[in-house]
């Protein structure tokens, strides 16, 4: 007889006012079920303390079951990591057979993780983005040289599409404006451009050479707040990705930008690529 039925009978007997000894004897005679008073008291305590007890024993099955991962899938994960430098979340977009948790476990086992296990405490900030492509471009340049040159980056705020990743000898207003003019010929004109307060972007002056040139082109210049790196967060994040993944692109800037725009899934875009969002017809209006 199932134990939950024995328990049900015991609780009925207790409701009728029987003592533990009486309950034990009745269960023994009626169901040939031997039990101690201590166990009966434990059942009673559990009934009092658990709101939704179904009278069954707790399962001894482990809450987390680590299934053995197919060697072919593991090999696929490792190959993707070695070729792309992607972490578990992005690899999961290409390897559908297992979860990102299982992928992370494979990477940790093979010591292929991008970051140490200990997570840094992040400051909370509000994420914002434009609803339409070419509403706002963010511009910035690298803090370190690449093959002896600085890199100027322009990114579309809505789609995160990398519009330019240009190596230059010097970052000046004229150089930056030339890059923007070339981009306008290809992608059209943005309504606004967001930059930091660097000298090439006119420092804090609203009447700088950079501001005048943008105004002449019908573009509004927006500056980031001082000591607020998250304002230009998308272009800053692109440079972080560049530092992590450039070596997986044969140190080729054009290949990195192509892969970033057309191949690499973006977490903030529901794992779509920047190019998919930029060319999404529904976002044009």
Distance, in Å, from the CA atom of 110 to the CA atom of 223, rounded to the nearest integer, reads 44
Q: Which of 1-15, 107-121, 234-248 has the lowest mean pLDDT?
A: 107-121
Distances (CA, A) of 272 to 100, 167, 185, 263, 266: 17, 27, 26, 9, 6
Partners of residue 146 on adjacent β-strands: 149
Cα angle: 149, vertex 152, 156; to 5 degrees: 155
Q: Is the pLDDT of residue 119 over 60?
A: no
In tens, the pLDDT along 218-252 reads 999 999 876 555 557 888 899 999 999 999 999 99
DSSP structure class, residue 61: S
Q: Where are the domains of the chain?
A: 3-49, 71-109, 136-283
Residue-level pLDDT at 124: 47
In tens, the pLDDT along 149-206 reads 999 999 999 999 999 999 999 999 999 999 999 999 999 999 999 999 899 999 888 8
Q: Is the dihedral of CA 191, 176, 162, 227 positive or negative?
A: negative
- Using DSSP's 3-state secondary structure scheme, residue 91 falls into helix
- Using DSSP's 3-state secondary structure scheme, residue 136 falls into strand
Residue-level pLDDT at 67: 61
Query: What Rg do the C-alpha atoms of the chain give, in angstroms?
Result: 31
Q: Is the dihedral of CA 192, 196, 200, 202 positive or negative?
A: positive
Q: Model's pTM, two decimal places? A: 0.66
Residue-level pLDDT at 222: 93
Residue-level pLDDT at 61: 67
**H or E segment at 150?**
strand 150-156
Which two structure tokens, joined as six digits, stand for 105?
């476990």
In tens, the pLDDT along 9-23 reads 888 888 888 999 998
Residue-level pLDDT at 55: 79
Q: Is the pLDDT of residue 253 over 70?
A: yes
Distance, in Å, from the CA atom of 10 to the CA atom of 104, rounded to the nearest integer, reads 49
What average pLDDT does the segment 81-94 reach? Answer: 90
- Using DSSP's 3-state secondary structure scheme, residue 149 falls into strand
Q: Which residue has the higher pLDDT, 113 or 202?
A: 202
Residue-level pLDDT at 203: 84
- State what percent of residues in the chain have pLDDT above 70: 88
What average pLDDT does the segment 250-268 reach? Answer: 93
In tens, the pLDDT along 27-80 reads 888 888 888 999 889 888 888 887 777 777 777 666 665 667 788 999 999 999
Residue-level pLDDT at 227: 53
Residue-level pLDDT at 56: 79
Please provide the CATH number assigned to the domain covering 136-283: 3.30.420.10
CB atoms within 10 A of CB 97: 13
């Amino acid at each position: 007889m199932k134990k939950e039925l024995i328990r049900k009978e015991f609780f009925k007997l207790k409701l009728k006012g029987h003592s533990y000894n009486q309950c034990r004897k009745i269960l023994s005679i009626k169901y040939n079920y031997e039990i101690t008073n201590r166990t009966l008291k434990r059942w009673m305590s559990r009934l009092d303390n658990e709101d939704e007890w179904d009278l069954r024993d707790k399962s001894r099955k482990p809450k987390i079951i680590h299934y053995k991962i197919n060697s072919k899938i593991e090999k696929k994960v490792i190959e993707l990591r070695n070729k792309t430098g992607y972490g578990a979340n992005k690899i999961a977009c290409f390897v559908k057979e297992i979860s990102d948790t299982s992928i992370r476990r494979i990477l940790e086992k093979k010591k292929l993780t991008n970051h140490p296990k200990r997570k840094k405490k992040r400051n909370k900030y509000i994420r914002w983005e434009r609803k339409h492509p070419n509403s706002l471009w963010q511009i910035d340049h690298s803090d370190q040289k690449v093959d002896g040159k600085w890199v100027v980056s322009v990114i579309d705020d809505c789609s995160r599409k990398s519009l330019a990743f240009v190596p230059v000898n010097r970052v000046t207003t004229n150089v930056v404006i030339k890059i923007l003019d070339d981009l306008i010929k290809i992608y059209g004109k943005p309504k606004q451009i967001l930059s930091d307060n660097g000298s090439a972007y006119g420092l804090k002056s609203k009447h700088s050479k950079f501001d005048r040139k943008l105004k002449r082109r019908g573009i509004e210049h927006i500056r980031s707040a001082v000591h607020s790196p998250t304002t230009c967060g998308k272009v800053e994040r692109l440079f972080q990705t560049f530092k992590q993944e450039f070596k997986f692109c044969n140190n080729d800037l054009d290949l990195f930008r192509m892969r970033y725009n057309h191949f690499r899934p973006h977490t903030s875009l529901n794992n779509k690529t920047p190019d998919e969002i930029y060319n999404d017809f529904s976002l044009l209006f």
